[in-house]
A and B are shown apart, each in its own frame.
Chain A
Amino acid sequence: MTRQDATPLLEVRDVAKSFSAVAAVRGCSFPLYPGEVHALVGENGAGKSTIVKMLAGVHQPDTGTLLVSGEEAAFAGPADAKAAGIAVIYQEPTLFPDLSVAENIAMGRQPRGRFGAIDRGRVRREAAELFSRLGVRIDPERPARGLSIADQQIVEIAKAIGGSASVLIMDEPTAALSAVEVERLFAVVRTLRDEGAAVLFISHRFEEITELCERVTIMRDGAHVSTDLVRDLTVDEMVRRMVGRDLDALFPKQDVEPGAVVLEVEDLSREGVFRDVSFTVRAGEIVALAGLVGSGRSEVVQAVFGVDGRDSGAVRVNGKRVRPGDPRSAMAAGMALVPEDRRQQGLVMDLSIQRNVTLPRAGALARLGLLGGGGERREAGRWTERLRTRYGRLTDPVGTLSGGNQQKVVLAKWLSTSPRVLIVDEPTRGIDVGTKAEVHRLMSTLAAEGVAVLMVSSELPEVLGMADRVLVMREGRIAADIPRPRATEESIMFAAMGQEANT
């Protein structure tokens, strides 16, 4: 089935791409042969999306080359990539909902009839032909609105091959599909493969890779790890290659004897987002909430804190119930949430550093209901200093600070409330290594002082380095509760992807 002797339809050769000082991809090479489905795997942040964007012509590689049918090619923009026969199918299809399926497929290259008008008959016929070629039954006349995600992706595929694409790149196409829909999509992909197209397939699900793909390229931290035939690798080996890196000394975890249960979450559910989530966090304990992006971790902590509602379940702090959908009640109980999205949720970017730090405590800082007289300034100064935040003036808009210092302001803001439960969502995303270590040290110190810490993190080294216990979420449920001695990158990844740990 594989044709190693053939010239690759598309070859990535030693490609590197940096964004400012950050290397997103360094030295990655792999060939896409005609008649082959090629898997690209790696953890979140391994550089897969950057590769996709370079192939789509959205980004240009800093160094290295792309070869189309053996010829060197440079894509100045998405139009060039399209002209070279490369089509990208994204996880969320981008069809025009009010146009018919056939019109969507013909979009941008509508056949013209007499007087330059669009030849509607041909549009319909071509769509019908494409569908019969792919072996699917979708009515070309119906509007795109209301199609399932899987059918929308099939329409996107039809659109791509209708535009005579020979290389199809599918970025996590199955993430939102049910098992039946996945089979349907795979049948279409196999048809294309047998017609001689090259498919690059990105997925987090190993069973899909072993079922569909001939070859697999593994990436880690932007670097190319290996490219092998899938049949030569075990799933265990793939996981090991994806995560295999050294834990560095960035995690100054102190050993704390956990105290009484502080935070209790019981059977928390929200329709279509998460179900029956129960866990506890003890005083002095750092519990990590791990899992893939989209597994519902942020949604859970936001519901626990009350910025989002919940359908059922209870949240208790020190045995006292916290009212649902009311952050004030959570704050009064001693809860604090450092949210994932710093710019939208963590800070009011146009307000000053001082106002941001004191916002949750404005009521407590007021004397006789009035603010002023420097109380806010002193409070903000004290906490920003304790966190060694670098800034010009406390009255500067917080948006003028660097990412790391912004995160320190968010932490200062919540530490000033003296929380008993500190929830941090991706506490070190997008900040430099030095500040990361500071944030980790701070979390460790707080835990040692008896604060119950719940940490959502996508970075496995952070999870392993900091957590006493790891809760792994998969598809809206808690899939595993792994104590520190048994927590490894493998055991967490297996739980996150729905595989049994057998190493």
Chain B
Amino acid sequence: MSGSENRLRGSFTRLASWDGAVILVAVVALVVAAAAVDGFGTSNNVTFMVLDLLPIALLALPMTLIIVTGEIDLSVASTLGLTSAVMGSLWNSGMAIETIIPLCVLLGAVLGAVNGVFVTVFRLPSLAVTIGTLALFRGLALVVLGESAVADFPVVFTTWVTGTVADTAIPNVLLPLLLLAAVFTVVLHATPVGRAVFAAGAGEQAARFSGVRVDRLKFWLFVASGAVAGLAGVLWTLRYSSARADNGLGLELAVVAAVLLGGVSIFGGRGTMPGVLAGVLLLATLQNALRLEDVTNEALNIVTGALLIVSVLLPNISRSVRTAAQRRRLRRTPIPQPATPPAP
């Protein structure tokens, strides 16, 4: 069999796969929204939409790697909130913004390391750990800043975050987002780390037997997740020029929804970064279009929730249909059997 034939068949299966479908649906949704929804295609709206999807997209990048390894980080939105609160408090104390921003990213990394230690050293399930830190970090944010808000951040920074590149509709923040997205895509799909991520998620024991340092890998993924959440906290604060303890409340739902919608298996071992980015885009397009159509925030939540269920349900259904078909085929062909009967 020739190599080109291999590649051709490979791309066919990719098109037929879930993430291929999501990319297609996202593009269709964009086109339909641009044609049918008043004001969707305006440059102002495009800028807004990018600003809206920015935190979800950022958090979805490390979340994808974490979910592919079979773990989850539900504390990202609270990490964002705590970072924002600390940022406000430090700014109030008179520290220079140039110092505060790297400190906030570092704080996020430390919070991620806390999750990582609980998961890899104490061997607790990440679902339980990060539900705990979800509440803990948000609580700490309230301790740091209380109900108040800090708003007087330097204009140079806030206008850069909300501004666009020269006279185009391209928001400035799209550049760091694209850069990070490229980095995470390459890491997941074209580096030894990415290979280890998939192996750890699809067969942790076999990965360990192949020399993958699974615990170390997971620890650093949680650190990366925290650091990116810290960065997202900084950008969120600057965008709204408002440091508040409840910034990004409930955002983890949208992030997980986007990742699963993008074809990442909640059980680990499967997923692609292009699929996840399409998932983010699809979610943002729907939310933006519905908002332009004056749909309420409650209804938007319903849409997000429904998408989450559908994205978990559909790939499972299609896979079980496929394996059922496979089994039927197998039953008609002899199954290779162990040469020795089971040892007594």
Contact = CB atoms under 8 A, between A and B. Distances in A.
A371 B336 contact: no
B341 A19 contact: yes
Contacts of B335: 20
B340 A349 contact: no
A344 B205 contact: yes
Interface string A36-75: 0000001011111110100000000000000000000000
Contacts of B213: 326, 328
Contact of A331 (B186, B211, B340): B211
Interface in A71-92: none
Contact of B191 (A347, A355, A366): A366
B9 interface: yes
A349 to B, nearest CB: 6
B81 interface: no
B338 A403 contact: yes
Contacts of B202: 348-351
A384 interface: no
B344 interface: yes
A397 to B, nearest CB: 9
A350 B323 CA distance: 13
A370 B340 contact: no
A458 B340 CA distance: 11
Contacts of A349: 202-203, 206
B344 A22 contact: no
Contact of A337 (B10, B196, B209, B338): B209
B210 A371 contact: no
Given A171-B344, A348-B206, A395-B6, A432 B211 contact: no
B206 to A, nearest CB: 5
Interface of B: 1, 6, 9-10, 186, 190-192, 194-196, 198-199, 202-203, 205-213, 269-270, 334-344
A291 interface: no
A393 interface: yes
B192 A371 contact: yes
Contacts of B9: 393
A225 interface: no
A323 B34 CA distance: 60
A172 B344 CA distance: 9
A327 B209 contact: yes
B195 to A, nearest CB: 4
Contacts of B269: 348, 350-351
A344 B341 CA distance: 19
A151 interface: no
A242 to B, nearest CB: 12
Interface string A406-437: 00000001000000000000001111110010
Given A348-B202, A363-B192, A393-B1, A44 B344 contact: yes
A339 B209 contact: yes
A93 B142 CA distance: 54
B327 to A, nearest CB: 13
Contacts of A20: 334-335, 337
A359 interface: yes
A312 interface: no
Contacts of A28: none
A393 B341 contact: no
A346 B337 contact: no
A353 B283 CA distance: 35
A414 to B, nearest CB: 9
A344 B10 contact: no
B191 to A, nearest CB: 6
Counting from the closest, the 5 A-B pairs by CB-CB distance are: A430-B338, A348-B203, A24-B341, A49-B344, A362-B192
A404 B206 CA distance: 18
B209 A42 contact: no
A429 B339 CA distance: 7
Contacts of A428: 339
Interface residues of A, number: 64
B192 A346 contact: no
Contacts of A1: none
Contact of A351 (B1, B203, B344): B203
B210 to A, nearest CB: 4
Given A339-B209, A345-B209, A372-B190, A430 B340 contact: yes
A404 B192 contact: no
B206 A344 contact: yes
Contacts of A25: 341
A256 interface: no
Given A327-B211, A371-B192, A42 B341 contact: no
A307 B209 contact: yes
B42 to A, nearest CB: 40
Contacts of B209: 307, 327, 337, 339, 345-346
A395 B344 contact: no
Contacts of B195: 355, 358-359, 362, 371
A264 interface: no
- Candidate in B186, B196, B336 with the most chain A CB atoms within 10 angstroms: B336
Nearest to B268: A350
A202 interface: yes
B339 A431 contact: yes
A141 to B, nearest CB: 36
Contact of B337 (A19, A355, A360, A366): A19
A307 B336 CA distance: 30
Contacts of A171: 344
A436 B339 CA distance: 10
B343 A458 contact: yes
A413 B210 contact: yes
Contacts of A348: 198-199, 202-203, 206-207, 269
Contacts of A413: 210
B187 to A, nearest CB: 9
Nearest to A308: B208
B58 to A, nearest CB: 23
Given A49-B344, A351-B198, A362-B195, 20 more contacts: A19-B338, A21-B334, A22-B337, A46-B344, A47-B344, A49-B341, A172-B344, A222-B341, A327-B209, A348-B206, A348-B207, A355-B199, A358-B195, A365-B192, A366-B191, A393-B6, A395-B6, A403-B336, A403-B338, A413-B210
Interface string A14-31: 000001111011000000
A116 interface: no
Contacts of A233: none
- Candidate in B199, B206, B338, B342 with the most chain A CB atoms within 10 angstroms: B206
Given A348-B203, A348-B206, A359-B207, A433 B190 contact: no
A490 B164 CA distance: 84
A282 to B, nearest CB: 25
27 contacts: A22-B339, A22-B341, A24-B342, A47-B341, A49-B344, A50-B341, A50-B344, A327-B209, A346-B209, A348-B203, A349-B203, A351-B198, A359-B210, A359-B211, A360-B210, A360-B211, A362-B192, A369-B191, A372-B190, A393-B9, A402-B336, A403-B338, A428-B339, A429-B340, A430-B339, A430-B340, A458-B343
A347 B199 CA distance: 9
Contact of B208 (A49, A327, A371, A433): A327
Interface in A301-353: 307, 326-328, 331, 337, 339, 344-351
B265 to A, nearest CB: 10
Contacts of A429: 338, 340
A369 B202 CA distance: 23
